[in-house]
Amino acid sequence: MSEMEPAKNMISIKIDGVEYKAKEGEYILNAARANDIFIPAICYLTRCSPTLACRICLVEADGKQVYSCNARVKEGMEITINTPNILKERRAIMEVYDVNHPLQCGVCDQSGECELQNYTLELGVDSQSYAIPDTKRETKNWSSVLHYDAGLCIVCERCTTVCKDMIGDAAIKTTKRGGAALDKDYKATMPKDAYAMWNKLQKSIIAPSNGTDYTNCSDCGECIAVCPVGALVSRDFQYTTNAWDLKRIPATCAHCSSGCQIYYETKPTSIADRTEKIYRVTNEWNYISLCGAGRFGYDFENRVEGKDQEAFTKAVEAFKKAKVINFTSVITNEEALMLQSLKEKMGVKLINREARAFQRFLDFYSQASGNSLYTTDFKEVMATDFVMSVGTSLRNDNPNARYAFNNIQKMNKGAGLYFHPVGDNLVPTFGKNIEMFTHKVGQEELALLLIIDLFADHDKLPNSVKEQLDRDKLLEALGKDSEAFAKSFDKMMKKKESFSLMVGEDLYFHEKAENIAKLIAVLENSSSVKVAMIPPKTNSLGVALICDLDDEAEGYTIGYNALGDFRLSALGDGDLDMPSMNQQEGTLTNMHKRVTPTNAALEYHGYELNDIMAELISAPKYTIDWTPHLPVEKGFKSINFDDLPNEYKNDGTENRGYLLDTTTKEVGEIEVDKFDDSTVLDGEIAYRCNPQRQFNDFTNKAHQIFEEFGLYASKERAETLGKRVTVEFDNGSLELDVIVDERMDGDIVAVPDFKSAENIYELFGASRYQKVIIREV
Amino acid sequence: MGLEQFKNRNVGTQNYVKLDLPHPPKNGWCAFKQVLSRSLKPELFVGLWVALREMINALFRGQMHTTQYPLEKLPISPRYRAIHEMLRLLESGHYRCIGCGLCEKICIANCITMDTRYDENQRKEVSEYTINFGRCIFCGYCAEVCPELAIVHGGRYETASEQRASFSLFEDMLTPIDKLNLQQEYQGFGAISPNADENIKKTPLAY
């Protein structure tokens, strides 16, 4: 309940003579912002390390000039925001930024939402005192989505900072510009900070850090979001519209379980076609970072002409004779509740593979630990300084979990342990104190046992666990040398105070899921490690809580965005059209255990699930009328949809929807099974895992997501495989193109599941790993 | 007809002439004398002569003062706000509009719409532009706000048409390329003031 927690360690400071409260150890700038006080600042990004590029956030604290973005508040500190000298510095800095900045504001994509313009006006720059010959700076396309106009760049380094400290790609850096040297006279005549800032600015420009013209990154576009000027824009958006023409619709991203807050920005398609179209997605980049799917995968709407009555009648008939409803986790809580009502009233069975696996795992966990839900959200994880990850391909499963892992290394001087059978060469670059455990498939329990051994209070452990704890043996089994590990672990543990663990989908789709859930409960009971779980898909958590899902079912099946005899589809390829996530209102339950509202960005003229409900059982007028009826006993609250907020506050508080209530009850001692090798896989293995930026059919429909459906393999492995292969499973086979994922390591190949038509879940069954035979075609 | 008098916007300095008129009669006797003298003068014939002279001038000497509208049209003040024109750059012939969208934004009748795109020369290109003249109230804000003096009000004041939409596309308003030499610089609302140079602060240029 982080938002209800009483603020701890509050101290009082004085800003311009007025007393305010601030969190101890916070930067002056953040403390001022939390109190709604404005201090000019360009280069600073909340949640990232101070860059000190712009120097405009100068303030006077206790009589000394400091940069408010990297000076921390102290009890009784007296801060003056404007002194004559500081105003002189700030004005000179803005004049310098304006030197040689192209006067093409009329066509610039920032279209007035420009911090350079704003601060130039704010500081009253009405004349220019400085000059230097300009350098030719070329515009470049860095990737399939990124466009960089070096001429407009003011080298505030926000893009490089966010890429390094938050995203973890570090795909761009500052490099030499080759500009003229400053006139020596300026040193004596100019304000000091302005001169130092100009000296650095004149020498640098941003470029891909791999030395080529193209970035090797996950194309998340966060650099575009943070750019204060129009230097970085998406290639698709460039010159298509002005910011002021766009209507912003607050929503929740529906691609993965992180449920980020986004704005869909819409405008009529063209002069001839006045239907609204989404031009881009923006976010509150100071408080939440998006991934490439969220930012660029927005045009997955299902355009329909009108209500197709014939199809609707057929749909109602189909529902009347249906035995099974097969659906995915890309569904709102309200629709999940509708399906659950159908089950209760008409006795259909509900099938949702990913949510069912997660539901089982949550049940096992609750039985063992007594907690109704996992105890930690990812915000709390991000505040820890030692993070571990088991059973998730961080880079692909959930970008925000990956950002948290990276951010801990960069901002909290953190350390990390990464357990996963598929090697990854990006994660080790997040920080110096990261140990990679590329263990065998099926050894997830050993990873957890090792974590228990490392962090738990051994006196509190049940005997069934204690007897399995032999550190040397565990390390050996996980492929580490125990002496070397002991040494690096000692180094990692220095000055570490808080610990967290994130676990993912591998553990839910696991033969020994029950035992694993127990181990997690043991870890929580006996140590201070906070455990957060990553729900497999968008609203898996919501579905797992709301629906009473079935394991297997046979008979006439209705597929909702999934396979079935009668198909409801928001992709436009089914028997009856449904609105897609950007065309409907509703709530989603994200991995932070938060129920967040999303709004309709685009109009939809067809039938909704609620209309079918009205025919079959009774239904209220709108889908959102179901919102207050979400099951309170599962932690939901009885709040009307229209009363749910969707915003961030100035101090970074997430004021979106509400948090699920969790309850705790007493349970007895946990009995854990002994580990055996029966689940360990050897040989040729395929892993069910999507490429970055692909999560489901909807991301695949978006025109700026280019990742193909194919067999992803590390560079070395791809060379041995050839161009196109058949992958043979026990119960079927696939023919796929081989695609190199340069960030993968090792021999395991990844088969995506984002195309529901390919029925990948059927091939993999109850596990994310399967033994396969791969043959070149 | 010269436009000089319209260019001078300083009311009060125009060349007014004070007429030297006699005083009106002060009493009955004076009024009687005035009637008597006017009746005995042959002014009736002077008037008849003037009319005859003007008729001869008009019919035989080509000095007709009537404008033969619609064959002839009187020039109109540059401040008059008629159907819009899109100007071109005199040097290159390229249209001046940069697609900044300010006219679209400022339009209080909400009648301007434009589509822009990233073109092959890495420039912002106006791919479509339209004004709905059924809604336009000819307020002149678009011309005033235009940073490039690209959209201006022209002299085409006849806005009656079966379809006012026929005025409204970019190409309809754009100066024809073969008539570029006839393009007049706009003097109306939003044009650069005659003393613009004095108002600009010079910035240092090192190159």
pLDDT-based confidence at B196, cuts 50/70/90? confident
Lowest model confidence (mean pLDDT) among A109-123, A324-338, A614-628, B66-80: B66-80
* Residues A362, A345 share a domain: no
Task: Indicate if A509 and A611 belong to the same structural domain.
Answer: no
* Position A299 in a domain: no
Same domain, A332 and A362: no
State the average pLDDT over residues A665-669: 88
Question: Do A608 and A693 lie in a common domain?
Answer: no
Give how far Cα A468 sits from Cα of A386, A463, A473, A474, Å: 24, 9, 10, 9
Q: Which of A404, A333, A347 is nearest to A594 (CA)?
A: A333
Domain-ending residue, one of A30, A62, A82: A82
Say what the pLDDT of residue B75 is.
Answer: 82
Contact criterion met (CB < 8 Å) for A239 and B99: yes
Dihedral over Cα of A657, A663, A669, A671: its sign: negative
Per-residue pLDDT tens over the stretch A674-691: 998 888 999 999 999 999
What average pLDDT does this structure show over A592-607?
95
Q: Terminus-to-terminus CA distance in chain B, angstroms?
A: 46
What is the model's pLDDT at position B4?
A: 66
The C-alpha atoms of residue A501 and residue A510 are separated, in whole angstroms, by: 18
pLDDT of residue A76: 93
How near does any CA of chain A get to the CA of B133, in Å?
15
The alpha carbon of residue B92 is apart from the nearest alpha carbon of chain A, in Å, by 19
Q: What pLDDT sits at residue A754? A: 94
For residue B197, the SS3 value is: helix
Q: Is residue A454 part of a domain?
A: yes
> Given CB atoms, is A150 within the 8 Å cutoff of chain B?
no
Please check the confidence at residue A474 and state whether its pLDDT lies above 90: yes
Q: Which of residues 84-143 of A touch B (CB under 8 A)?
A: 105-107, 111, 126-134, 139
A314 belongs to a structural domain: no
Residue B7 confidence (pLDDT) above 80: no
- Chain B partners of A132 at a C-beta cutoff of 8 Å? 206
Domain boundary among A533, A548, A576: A533
Q: What is the ipTM of this complex?
A: 0.84
Contact assessment for residue B152 and residue B84, using Cβ atoms and an 8 Å cutoff: yes
Q: Residue A7: its pLDDT value, please? A: 53
Q: Which residues pair with B129 in a beta bridge?
A: B114
> Looking at residue A465, which CATH number applies to its domain?
3.40.228.10
> How far does Cα A590 stand from its chain's mean position?
11
Contact A271 B201 (CB under 8 A): no
- Number of structural domains chain A divides into: 4
Give B100→chain A minimum CA distance, Å.
5
Strand, helix or coil at A265? strand
Measured CA to CA, the distance from residue A262 to residue A601 in angstroms comes to: 11
pLDDT, position A3: 41
Contacts of A133 in chain B (CB under 8 A): 206-207
% chain A with pLDDT above 90: 92
Q: Does B207 sit within 8 Å of A134, measured CB to CB?
A: yes
Helices (H), A236-382: 292-296, 309-321, 333-346, 353-369, 378-382
Question: Is the predicted pLDDT of residue A190 greater than 50, yes or no?
Answer: yes
Q: How far is A111 from chain B (nearest CA, A)?
A: 8
Pair A368, A470 in one domain: yes
Q: Which residue has the higher pLDDT, A475 or B16?
A: A475
The pLDDT of residue A306 is above 70: yes
Count of residues for chain A? 777
**Least trusted range by pLDDT, from A29-33, A176-180, A248-252:** A176-180
Mean pLDDT of chain B: 86
Residue A304 lies in a domain: no
Q: pLDDT (tens digit, 9 = 90+) per residue, B128-143?
A: 999 988 889 999 999 9
CATH code of residue A704: 2.40.40.20
User: What does the pLDDT look like over B13-38, one tens digit per residue?
Assistant: 667 777 888 888 899 999 999 898 88
Please say if the pLDDT value at position A36 is more than 70.
yes
Mean per-residue pLDDT for A597-613? 94
Identity of the residue in B124, B128, B130 whose CB atom sits nearest the CB atom of A239:
B124
Q: Which residues 6+ apart lie within 8 Å of A684 measured at CB?
A: A747, A771, A772, A773, A774
Tell me if A245 and B148 make a contact (CB, 8 A cut-off).
Answer: no
Mutate to test the interface with B, among A234, A242, A244, A280 (most CBs of B within 10 A): A242
pLDDT of residue A5: 46
A246, part of any domain: no
If asked whether residues A545 and A529 sit together in one domain, one would say no
Say yes or no: A467 and A570 in one domain: no
Distance of CA A224 to the CA centre of its chain: 16
B102 to chain A: nearest residue by CA? A106
In whole angstroms, give the CA distance from residue B39 to residue A667: 130
pLDDT bin (cut points 50, 70, 90) of residue B70 is: confident
Cβ–Cβ under 8 Å, residues A697 and A561: yes
Q: Does B200 touch chain A (CB under 8 A)?
A: no
Query: Residue A480 in contact with residue A437, Cβ under 8 Å?
Result: yes
The reply to whether A503 and A606 lie within a common domain is no
Would you say residue A8 has pLDDT above 50? yes
Q: Quote the CA–CA distance of A23 and A510 in Å, as a whole number.
A: 43
Residue A703 — φ and ψ, nearest 5°?
-80, -15
Residues B98, A106: C-beta atoms closer than 8 Å: yes
| Cα A151–Cα A155–Cα A159 angle in degrees, nearest 5 | 110
User: Where does a domain end: A52, A82, A112?
Assistant: A82
pLDDT digit string (tens) for A707-738? Answer: 999 999 999 999 999 999 999 999 999 999 99
Out of B101, B125, B128, the one facing A270 most closely (by C-beta) is: B128
Is B41's pLDDT higher than 90?
no
Confidence tier at A657 by pLDDT (50, 70, 90)? very high
Q: Which residues contact A439 (CB under 8 A, 6 or more apart)?
A: A419, A420, A421, A446, A447, A477, A478, A479
Largest CA distance in chain A: 87
Assign residue A7 the CATH number of its domain: 3.10.20.740
pLDDT of residue A1: 36
Identify whether A145 is part of a domain.
no
Inside any domain, residue A215: no
Instruction: For A410-431, write each residue's pLDDT tens digit.
Output: 999 999 999 999 999 999 999 9
Looking at the structure, tell me whether residues A367 and A496 fall in a common domain: yes
**Six token digits for residue A424:** 């990854």
**Which domain does A50 fall in, by range?**
1-82
Chain A contacts of B205, Cβ < 8 Å? 131
Would you call A107 and B206 a contact, using CB atoms and an 8 Å cutoff?
A: no
Q: Is residue A280 part of a domain?
A: no
* A511 shares its domain with A402: yes
Residue A582 has pLDDT above 70, yes or no: yes
Mean pLDDT throughout A564-568? Answer: 95
Confidence of residue B11 (pLDDT cuts 50, 70, 90): low
| Tens-digit pLDDT profile for residues A431-472 | 999 999 999 999 999 999 999 999 999 999 999 999 999 999
- Among the listed residues A729, A723, A732, A740, the one whose alpha carbon sits nearest the alpha carbon of residue A777: A723
- Compute the half-sphere exposure of residue A511: CA atoms within 13 Å on the CB side of its CA: 14
Is residue A6 over pLDDT 80? no
Q: Ramachandran region of residue A567, left (φ > 0), alpha (ψ -120 to 50) or beta? A: beta
A147, β-bridge pairs: A141, A233
What one-character-per-residue DSSP string does A9-74 give? SEEEEEETTEEEEEETT-BHHHHHHHTT-----SS--TTS----SS-TTEEEETTEEEETTT-B--
Q: Do A131 and B105 touch (CB under 8 A)?
A: no
Q: What is the pLDDT of residues A427-436, one digit of tens each?
A: 999 999 999 9
For the cut 50, the answer to whether the pLDDT of residue A2 exceeds it is no
* Contact call for residues A228 and A56 (beta carbons, < 8 A): no
**Confidence label for B44 from pLDDT (cuts 50, 70 and 90):** confident
CA of B102: how far to CAs of A138, A269, A271, A338, B187, in Å? 27, 19, 16, 48, 20
Sign of CA pseudo-dihedral A398, A402, A405, A408: negative
Could you tell me if A527 and A544 lie in one domain? no
A463 and A562, same structural domain? no
What are the tens digits of pLDDT across the range A507-517?
999 999 999 99
pLDDT of A566 reads 96
Residue A120 tokens read as 């130039």
Q: What is the DSSP string of A240-256?
A: T--GGGPEEEEEE--SS
Please report residues of A whose CB lies closer than 8 A to that of B104: 245
